[in-house]
A and B are shown apart, each in its own frame.
Chain A
Amino acid sequence: MIETDILIIGAGPCGLFTVFEAGLLKLRCHLIDSLPQAGGQLSEIYPKKPIYDIPGYPDILAGELVDKLMEQIAPFKPGFTLGERAETIEKLEDGRFKLTSSRGTEHVAPVIAIAGGLGCFEPRKPPISNITDFEDKGVEYIIKDPEFYRNKNVVIAGGGDSALDWSIFLTDVANEVTLVHRRSSFRGALDSVEKVMELNKEGKINLITEAQITGLNGNGHLNEVVIKHKTEGEITKKTDHFVPLFGLAPKLGPIAEWGLNIDKNAIEVNTFDYSTNIKGIYAIGDINTYPGKLKLILCGFHEGTLMVQSAFKYIYPDKKLSFKYTTVNGVNGF
């Protein structure tokens, strides 16, 4: 079990900077994020894009900002639970919260700060009406263990790096690999594209382009996909597995079930301290909403800074809190 002062849900820029401001008040933080790395959207969606509205940086790449934030908070030794989704919370008898992750990791803290951004990133599911019927019965959105596909027939859909890379990798494992893609060109890395073309020529990958999967058939387990080809119409193909790889999209996820006041996928907060309707739970950054809200990293930093002041008073109602400048006191880590 992990114990901390402030449990931050979401390791994006706002969650990361909150560790710094909390650290100045001697509050320890632990972050949980469904992605396998820190940085949230900045790492996952646009690491190579420049940001122009971070004060003091005329421009900085999103990935660089994450690196700098990690460096800035290092003295406060934050803990991380990565690759696990915040699933359920319960209030303990001592007033603290216990948060359990999707993998069962337990975290206990008096304060929870939800800095969840757009929500947690989950695989995009193709709109095939009965796809949920075949989940874990032949349809997988993530390849966890390639051995699972040994000597099986696999259909992969998608045109990005993960679709290309897995198609290449599985040729050595699976009995038959078929890659289905909407266009005749691929957006993935050039050498992966060339490799797929080469394997196709050698007969090791069936390549079906200008086509989409539109149907799934099977009795209890998937045994056939329906492929709609631009010119040839519908084709059916026998398969053991269908792996759609269309990237990740954010969803609010389990947080929506925690009894928080939610308006249009965002958590309502009081702008005095970014507290939610549940005492001890705050929401900062893109995931909150209030009159005049702007979804800017800059604003998230401000929200986290004010929030930790309130969190301190909530955790230590009898302690005096004096505001200090880092220029005067320096940064005294743990």
Chain B
Amino acid sequence: MENTITITVIDREEKEHTLEAPTDMNMNLMEVCKSYELPVKGTCGGMALCSTCHCYIQSDHDLPEMSEDEEDMLDQAFFVDDETSRLGCQIPITQELDGLVIVLAPEAE
């Protein structure tokens, strides 16, 4: 479909979900997960201020560079992997991300 990409999300029970994400709706990865009712809280609404959309990037897509805000928030998160950890809310859905694979990070208490 035009203006749509496919993203694979592996949830915390290791179940795989295939999501169709629109590239023309100004959405980010956290919002797409939420729209599919995956267990991503997105508590702060996408300001890189809560880390509930923390995920691990499994495919070798070129992603936008991490902002200082995102890096700072990951400092307060747990189960952080230096190579693959990102906040979903800081990754806008673009055509280049077609085929992206992510794993949801465990929920901290």
Interface residues of A (CB under 8 A from B): 45-46, 49, 118, 124-127, 158-160, 181-183, 187, 212, 230, 246-247, 249-250, 295
Whether B109 and A125, one on each chain, are in contact in the complex, defined by CB atoms closer than 8 angstroms, is yes
Residues of chain B within 8 A of A182, CB atoms compared: 74-75, 80, 82
Whole-angstrom distance between the alpha carbons of A125 and B80 in the complex?
Answer: 14
**Central interface residue in B44, B77, B78, by most chain A CB within 10 Å:** B78
Residues of chain A within 8 A of B76, CB atoms compared: 124, 158-160, 246-247
Chain B positions 71 through 96: 1 when the CB is less than 8 Å from some CB of chain A, otherwise 0: 11011111110100000000000000
Closest to A128 in B: B78
Whether A118 and B43, one on each chain, are in contact in the complex, defined by CB atoms closer than 8 angstroms, is yes
22 sampled A-B residue pairs with Cβ under 8 A? A45-B47, A45-B49, A46-B44, A46-B47, A46-B49, A125-B108, A126-B108, A127-B78, A160-B75, A160-B76, A181-B75, A182-B82, A183-B71, A187-B72, A187-B75, A212-B80, A230-B82, A246-B75, A246-B78, A247-B76, A249-B43, A295-B45
Whether B68 and A187, one on each chain, are in contact in the complex, defined by CB atoms closer than 8 angstroms, is yes
B22 beta carbon closer than 8 Å to chain A? no
Whole-angstrom distance between the alpha carbons of A45 and B72 in the complex?
Answer: 13
Whole-angstrom distance between the alpha carbons of A159 and B75 in the complex?
Answer: 6
Interface residues of B (CB under 8 A from A): 43-45, 47, 49-50, 68, 71-72, 74-80, 82, 106, 108-109
Residues of chain A within 8 A of B43, CB atoms compared: 118, 249-250
Whole-angstrom distance between the alpha carbons of A326 and B77 in the complex?
Answer: 47
From residue B48, how far is it (CB to closest CB) to chain A in Å? Answer: 10
Whether A127 and B108, one on each chain, are in contact in the complex, defined by CB atoms closer than 8 angstroms, is yes
Whether B47 and A49, one on each chain, are in contact in the complex, defined by CB atoms closer than 8 angstroms, is yes
Closest to B74 in A: A182
From residue B98, how far is it (CB to closest CB) to chain A in Å? Answer: 31
**Contact partner of A124 among B74, B80, B108, CB < 8 A?**
B108
Given A45-B50, A159-B72, output 18 extra A-B contacts at Cβ < 8 Å.
A45-B44, A45-B47, A124-B108, A126-B78, A127-B79, A127-B109, A158-B76, A159-B75, A159-B76, A160-B75, A182-B74, A182-B80, A183-B71, A183-B75, A187-B72, A246-B75, A246-B77, A250-B43
Residues of chain B within 8 A of A247, CB atoms compared: 76
Residues of chain A within 8 A of B106, CB atoms compared: 127
